[in-house]
Amino acid sequence: MSEVIFFFEVLAGGLLAGVMYALVALGFVLIYKASGVFNFAQGAMVFFAALTFVSLTERGWNFWLALVVTLAVMVLLGIVTERVVLRPLVNQPQITLFMATIGLTFVLEGLSQLIWGSQPHGLELGIPDVPMEWLSQKWNVNISQFDLFSAFVAGGLVAVLAVFFHRTRIGRALRAVADDHQAALAVGIPLQHIWAIVWAVAGFVALVAGLLWGVRNGVQFALTFVALKALPVLILGGFESIMGAIVGGLIIGASEKLAEVYVGPFVGGGIESWFAYVVALVFLLFRPEGLFGEKIIDRV
């Protein structure tokens, strides 16, 4: 295999991996946009959603029925989170809300294992995670069908969410709430409903991310770690930008894979996990708000 083809294979693999990171990052962005809170529990939500789905299918439930029920569970989880965790904390400092999501993480992780057990599960969605033969044979390049499918799903989600946030009344209300809770309440925006909606949507995104990551890694506790993959994406792309999540994901995915393959062997390997943060921090030097983040100007 020529070096050039190999380079493009690494690059393509990195971009497609970045799409998977972006999927997780989207969940963070949604909550942040609507409440200004960094939802520490997003990884746990991904795990909870995937584990619920796979546990139902393993008990003989029809695929679509399990999907609908899991979605309903995630929506319910969003509503309960708003009622029990967030509503009592309206107008509290954001750090308080952040700490509440840390608590939620441990509750969700424990609850998931309590209900469904701690055993890993296999998950197949009917799309093989193997190289496309025609591409392998003609160009000697391995691109997985499943990776392409994931990219398509992520692209679709981004488009839908972008329209939702910018073209609908609820979307505009979400953005208003994110800017200022009290001001939003003052103009009649029902804060509780907005938060419940956005947590439910984040639950849906967690389900999608959980299913796609579950196919790749199996459905097991380690799914909670995918949140770590989303952090550099958020730093780079900006915490409140859906477009930033996808672009950040692509940049992080490509750069960490290229670094691992071309720099890793000279420094002992295993660098991609922290190299992603190096890239993100370098970007921060030039754009502290992230690539697509909103510049905040405080006037005194």
Would you tell me the crossing angle of helices 169-179 and 145-167 to the nearest 10 degrees? 80
Q: What is the DSSP string of 186-243?
A: HTT--HHHHHHHHHHHHHHHHHHHHHHHHHHH-BSGGGGGHHHHHHHHHHHH-TT-HH
- Euclidean distance between CA atoms 163 and 258, whole angstroms: 33
Smallest gap, in angstroms, from Cβ of residue 245 to another protein? 17
Q: How far are the Cα atoms of 25, 137, 281, 289 from residue 234, in angstroms, in the given order?
A: 6, 37, 11, 10
Smallest gap, in angstroms, from Cβ of residue 51 to another protein? 12
Smallest gap, in angstroms, from Cβ of residue 17 to another protein? 5
- Which residue is listed with tokens 């965790």? 85
33-41, 127-135, 167-175, 279-287 -> range binding another protein (CB under 8 A): 127-135
Residue of 72, 124, 137, 172 interacting with another protein (CB under 8 A)? 124
Residue of 22, 24, 104, 123 interacting with another protein (CB under 8 A)? 123
- Euclidean distance between CA atoms 104 and 107, whole angstroms: 5
Secondary structure (3-state) at 267: coil
Window 59 to 118, contacts with another protein (CB under 8 A): 109-110, 113, 117-118
Smallest gap, in angstroms, from Cβ of residue 151 to another protein? 14
Which structure tokens are listed for 133? 């033969």
Nearer to another protein, 168 or 273 (CB): 273
Smallest gap, in angstroms, from Cβ of residue 280 to another protein? 16
Site string for another protein, 141-160 (x = CB under 8 A): -x-x----------------
Nearer to another protein, 34 or 123 (CB): 123
Nearer to another protein, 146 or 165 (CB): 146
Total residue count of the chain as it appears in this document: 300
Residue of 93, 126, 188, 268 interacting with another protein (CB under 8 A)? 268
Secondary structure (3-state) at 294: coil
Would you tell me the crossing angle of helices 191-217 and 63-80 to the nearest 10 degrees? 140
Q: Can residue 36 be called a binding residue for another protein (CB under 8 A)?
A: no
Nearer to another protein, 189 or 236 (CB): 236
Window 166 to 225, contacts with another protein (CB under 8 A): 213, 216-225
Radius of gyration of the chain (CA): 20
Secondary structure (3-state) at 252: helix
Window 7 to 26, contacts with another protein (CB under 8 A): 9-10, 13-14, 17
Which structure tokens are listed for 182? 């009290």
Window 224 to 253, contacts with another protein (CB under 8 A): 224-226, 229
Secondary structure (3-state) at 79: helix
- Euclidean distance between CA atoms 94 and 22, whole angstroms: 24
Smallest gap, in angstroms, from Cβ of residue 14 to another protein? 7
- Total residues contacting another protein by CB under 8 A comes to 50
Residues that bind another protein in the complex, under the rule CB under 8 A:
1, 6, 9-10, 13-14, 17, 109-110, 113, 117-124, 129-131, 136, 142, 144, 213, 216-226, 229, 256-257, 260-261, 264-265, 268-274
